[in-house]
Amino acid sequence: MTVPPTTPAQLTLGTEVELEVGPVAHGGHCVARHEGRVVFVRHAIPGERVRARITEGGEGSRFLRADAVRVLEPSPDRVEQPCPYAKPGRCGGCDWQHVALPAQRRLKAQVVQEQLRRLAGLDVPVEVEAVPGDDDGLGWRTRVRFAVDAEARLALRKHRSHELVRIDRCRIASPGVDEVGANDRSWPGAAEVEVVAAASGDRAVLVSPQPGRRLRLPGAADLADGTAVLVEGEQGTDRVRGRTWLREQAAGREWRVGVGGFWQVHPGAADALVGAVLLGLEPQPGETVLDLYAGVGLFAGALAHRVGEAGQVVAVEGDRRAVADARRNLHGLPQARILDGSVDRVLAAPARLGVDRADLVVLDPPRVGARAKVVGQVAGLGPRVVAYVACDPAALARDLALFAERGYVLRSLRAFDMFPMTQHVECVAVLAQAPAD
């Protein structure tokens, strides 16, 4: 019996097709084509031939998504996944566990290069660097946010899905996360449970209740000694036991971070970023610096020491909990001021900002980037150098193009593998005013 060839219109969910895997793409997948239609394939490596199962899309779709369920011709960079859950149809938290760590970094470098070329017209070499303390890409994540399944046990989500997968433990989580013991308990009435294991040794569990359900914490008393337990309420965070904040360590000192607040999840990340920002900016005594999207004040604190009491650092942050932490973290540095508010609104109010020019600017925006309004406001302050910290290479590239329109050129770029086994990569771009003709 002859089976007719599969046509694009027949590619429905669950259909399996044989694909030649093309280049890596932004998003943790590779690009393949079937009868002219683009297929974004996970669990594959460029150059492989695979059998892939369609997971999204169908007749009329501009493109399809698929999982490589069988490898017919493997890449020499393919390895056995260290986690049994990092496979098709299972946990979606890791994208590249099937790829040797050096090759993961090469793939990430290619993604950054492609985004810069396509969106900013820049052709620059990129090397993705390991961060301190990273040996094998496992056991690094100090903050893990779990979902809670129908049996009140911790679980993680499938890729691009609300479906849950119960796991014994997360292989990229730091040992401290497992030591808390949250995965061994039930969490009736909870929607999510975030487990935090700071490098300082502080531990915390933050519980998000299900709307309309009675939250019970029967296992909280049996968590590891010293573990703080908090509940996210409509009016803020309610303390069950322990402190509402954690100690983190970076740049040679301790920092206060509220439980549930933002801090880099890799223990070596904060030091790597501070080092790259200081090297790129080369701050001098007496200079004026803006730290935009300042969080708990990590960059502001490091910069305040460099500019000294003759200089000034103005930190701007929109999250009020982070602002409260930043005020405590920067206490004793009179040259540092913290302003509460969205960056664009603060920059639009010179009287509140307190400066009409800046020598240096640090930008560490959310994943969507700084965007045109803020880029224009920053350029209008005339800084000699801007350090842009980015967690999304596409957003970075779009903003670099905007800066170029305003006379700023890319002077250097460093990329860091702060999220091994995943698609994510952190970049520090240093921009300077273009020389006059």
Q: Which of 30, 83, 170, 391 is catalytic?
A: 391
Question: Six-digit token pair at 387?
Answer: 């350090």
Q: Helix, strand or coil for residue 257? A: strand
Reply yes or no on whether 391 is catalytic: yes
3-state secondary structure string across 45-97:
CCCCEEEEEEEECCCCCCEEEEEEEEEEECCCCECCCCCCCCCCCCECCCCCC
Rounded distance, CA 24 to CA 328, Å?
A: 44
Question: How far apart, in whole angstroms, are the C-alpha atoms of residue 162 and residue 379?
Answer: 41
Decide: 412 and 420 in contact? Cβ < 8 Å.
Answer: no
Q: Are 302 and 291 in contact (CB under 8 A)?
A: no
As a whole number of angstroms, the distance between CA 17 and CA 20 comes to: 10
Beta bridge partners of 388: 363, 429
Phi then psi for residue 342, to 5 deg, are -65, 145
Give CA–CA dist 117/129, Å, rounded. Answer: 20
Three-state DSSP at 15 gives coil
Residue 214: how many CA atoms within 13 Å on its side-chain side?
2
Q: What is the three-class DSSP state of 335?
A: coil
CA distance 280 to 214: 51
Is 364 flagged in the annotation as binding? yes
User: Of 229, 211, 212, which Cα lies nearest the Cα of 220?
Assistant: 229
Binding residues for S-adenosyl-L-methionine: 264, 293, 317, 364
Catalytic residues: 391
Binding residues: 264, 293, 317, 364
